[in-house]
Amino acid sequence: MSLAGARVVVSAGPTYEDLDPVRFIGNRSSGKMGFAIAAAAARRGADTVLVAGPVHLPTPPGVQRVDVRSAAQMHEAVMAALPADVYVGAAAVADFTPRAVAADKIKKVAGQDTLALELVRTPDILAAVSHDARRPRVVVGFAAETSEVAGYARDKLVRKRVDLIAANRVGVAGSGFESDDNALTVYWNDGERTLGPAPKTTLADALLDLVEERLPR
């Protein structure tokens, strides 16, 4: 299979939303799935841009990497990478971020047993890409769920107007976040396909096969 001549943008990893100079809100995403997809796209000849959250992974050969930390920074970098033929939103982007970041470390106060944080919504990167005038020909989202995977994935597919949703159940031993292996069910408007369990490198190629089927020749 080939993506020669195509431009592919992939987002990967977590975002960290700072509370103060030493603390942040984050998640367990390792970035391995998104990095595997970017590597596979580059091997297929694509001009590949990888927007990476804070992870400790080497840049795949032939990939242009843009490092970011927060959801706002990831949104800005992804939109700046358009236009593209394909966007794969494999990042685990924070849905909320603190309204304000404390300039100094938040200290414990004697007699204080609770701490209230005011959070605000972050930019919806997947929806922004799929609704943009420069919309890629194929837009792929990811849905990491702990229950009702199919229902949430299909809702996301319709609501965000994407072409494919790759869904997986997290919190299962041997797959999902931080693991080298995973299992995905990919949904589209009139079908679905289960991929794996398999190494994430294998799943990346299987997912790109589905993407290529939807690219106009």
- CA atoms of 92 and 97, how far apart (whole Å): 13
Phi, psi dihedral angles at 155 (to 5 degrees)? -60, -45
Structure letter (DSSP) for residue 147: S
Residue 27: active-site member? yes
- The Cα angle at residue 207 between residues 126 and 150, in degrees rounded to 5: 65
Beta strand 138-145 pairing with 164-169? parallel
- Among 27, 168, 182, 189, which one carries the catalytic annotation? 27
Q: How many C-beta atoms surround the C-beta of residue 9 within 10 A?
A: 30
- CA atoms of 41 and 77, how far apart (whole Å): 19
Which SS3 state, helix, strand or coil, does residue 152 take?
Answer: helix
- CA atoms of 4 and 37, how far apart (whole Å): 15
**Quick one: which of 28, 22, 48, 30 has its CA closest to 211?**
48
Which SS3 state, helix, strand or coil, does residue 193 take?
Answer: strand
Catalytic residue positions, numbered: 27
